[in-house]
Structure 1
């Protein structure tokens, strides 16, 4: 049973929504292989040992095998022509489990525009000049760049080709990128938290401004809109973060306060800071939630993760807007196409007993009831 539980949760780690594809399940992925793929894609902060399984098929997504989708993407004459131009997708040429996540995004793109798109898998050292020429010959007006590798490949494109980014975990306003970050929208995180803990009054977060300033600005607005106080503390290094967490948790009110762990590699460093925060919050019965779904298995109360098919649909809608003449420059936005995972053991520990109906409101439950 434990192996089954771990396998099911691992499907979450694959950035989810790859359930739209019939990916093969049960194959062990070594941490070294995952680390290499993660570095190429930019989609995970920290590699973990993963068991790959097929996530359940969603009823609103047409069933298609991975082989069928790959075959469709290899057909060069199939493209999305929306009157005034075409949409193309550039994505990393990586192995499973990450490949299925990108293909699920592509499936969502095609579901939205009702046409096939030209999709170009790119390697780390892709010839950007050749890619630019290929896209121009096919009449491409908008490129949806998936993953850090896909986004890097578009750096040398002509200015008349618009680029929308998606499937990249960490982006900031300073990168001058339009698109959707893989960081969950704080407003949606806080809303779910309020549903679980109606007496909540304050959210505590420790962050590095160089990495998370844009996100904290959004979080302040989201907290205010939901009548919550956001207590944000700056830490520029691991030592400062560790000291702050110890002080804040010791003085927190476990009935009205909660700790939020954003995607911040300084203040939520995986090998030192995370174990410390998890242990001290557990001992204090202080609710802790995260933007990183990997933390749910380790003891966070809940986290949100990408719905890759829905993300693809949203990216396609934005691309269609550009084709239709919407040329306004939009800032990077956080991810709103989300699913939710919860840790029932942690919920019970802090006195939150979720019935069967409440449990069904979560897409992934750990450990399995």
Structure 2
């Protein structure tokens, strides 16, 4: 009787695998004691069952499951909803550490948020679009989450019947017309943190290149207005113009009421020339400087906000699940709203802002590090 019920339970699990609309190259069902070669096909799985339950080497920690318990699991709404929906694929840049860790953290969040199979593929510029398409379709992929610029570039060659969600990219133009999340922090959250630290501030000064940041500045204008701030935005189409603007703007600023914001903009926040200039000028003038790049806090900016990569992965997974459930495939790039904050206590002290130990604990990263 026990032998018969176990046979029925295993057969039921195989039937569940066959119920999926998309054929999967290798089933996700794992059976203790079954050799890897016997799991390659559903037919081989049936051969293992027919070969005799008693021949399996069951580990001691495996819990016995009755047929009734297995049938209860199959009735669960989340399990039934996943049948036939296929898999989610993640395309991420094939880069070395420490850069790889950011993407693996996003993948961790994706896997935590969805009950569907998630397959991850490292990609680079040499990947063939036809081969990638064939592999994804073979694995039953319905939605791709493209991480980073390389992931986005690889996803650009996919067939139109595969939906794409983008994450872990810094800048996209409105013309890209993709749904996803930028690494750029939401200006509303940046300004809220600024106001919490320096409640007397009234104006935020920013220099930007419209080709890079027009979409972000539009959001920043709305965020500033809603928080009673003035956004003084100045256009610089090249580095030379940015280098001219910063000294005059900073020298005319009031350190008690004005602050300078450094967005993610390769033109106006160029790292080797422009950034040292702005750090020096704001330090000497006593004008608060905050950034969208956490690395700038190490170099002397007052504070910055950076995405929580695991939380970003969870949000991307929710978007992917929405597409699988019939949601719109069209969307726009959104700034990151799941953020961590870094503070430079030496700069804070220079600005007359004394942060006690308890206040410092409210920040995720504190520089200089003890």
Class of the TM-score when normalised by the shorter of the 2 chains? 0.7 to 0.9
Map Cα deviations across residues 52-111 of structure 1 (whole Å, 9 max, x no partner): xxxxxxxxxxxxxxxxxxxxxxx9644998343321111122211122221111110011
- Larger mean CA deviation between 352-361 and 86-95 belongs to 86-95
Secondary structure, counterpart of 2:301 in structure 1: coil
- Decide whether aligned partners of structure 1 residues 246 and 134 sit closer, same or farther in structure 2, where only a CA change above 3 A counts: same
Secondary structure, counterpart of 1:322 in structure 2: helix
1:78/1:117 contact within 8 Å kept: no
1:82/1:323 contact within 8 Å kept: no
RMSD (CA atoms): 1.7
1:240 positional shift = 1.2
- Decide whether aligned partners of structure 1 residues 136 and 116 sit closer, same or farther in structure 2, where only a CA change above 3 A counts: closer
Q: Does the alignment pair 1:121 with 2:122? A: yes
**In structure 1, distance between residues paired with 2:28 and 2:103:** 18
- Decide whether aligned partners of structure 1 residues 297 and 76 sit closer, same or farther in structure 2, where only a CA change above 3 A counts: farther
Between Structure 1 and Structure 2, how many residues are aligned?
A: 295
1:205 matched residue in structure 2: 206
1:333 matched residue in structure 2: 334
1:170 positional shift = 2.0
**In structure 2, distance between residues paired with 1:367 and 1:234:** 33
- Decide whether aligned partners of structure 1 residues 136 and 306 sit closer, same or farther in structure 2, where only a CA change above 3 A counts: same
**In structure 2, distance between residues paired with 1:339 and 1:77:** 39
- Larger mean CA deviation between 169-178 and 149-158 belongs to 169-178
**In structure 2, distance between residues paired with 1:98 and 1:215:** 25
**In structure 2, distance between residues paired with 1:304 and 1:102:** 18
2:71 matched residue in structure 1: none
2:82 matched residue in structure 1: 82
Secondary structure, counterpart of 1:259 in structure 2: strand
1:76/1:118 contact within 8 Å kept: no
1:163/1:178 contact within 8 Å kept: yes
1:258 matched residue in structure 2: 259
1:253/1:286 contact within 8 Å kept: yes
**In structure 1, distance between residues paired with 2:240 and 2:367:** 31
Q: TM-score, normalised by structure 1?
A: 0.77
Secondary structure, counterpart of 1:187 in structure 2: helix
Q: Which runs of 5+ in 1 are unaligned?
A: 1-74
1:141/1:323 contact within 8 Å kept: yes
Q: Does the alignment pair 1:194 with 2:179? A: no
Q: How do residues 2-21 of structure 1 correspond to structure 2 at under 5 angstroms?
A: none
Moved segments of 4+, more than 4 Å = 75-81
Q: Does the alignment pair 1:247 with 2:281? A: no
Q: Which has the greater radius of gyration?
A: 2
1:349 matched residue in structure 2: 350
1:172 positional shift = 2.1
1:33 matched residue in structure 2: none
Secondary structure, counterpart of 1:120 in structure 2: strand
Map Cα deviations across residues 296-346 of structure 1 (whole Å, 9 max, x no partner): 111000111121110100000000000111115221101112111110000
- Decide whether aligned partners of structure 1 residues 78 and 336 sit closer, same or farther in structure 2, where only a CA change above 3 A counts: farther
**In structure 1, distance between residues paired with 2:171 and 2:295:** 16
1:30 matched residue in structure 2: none
1:125 positional shift = 0.5
Secondary structure, counterpart of 1:144 in structure 2: strand
1:130 positional shift = 0.7
2:153 matched residue in structure 1: 152
2:217 matched residue in structure 1: 216
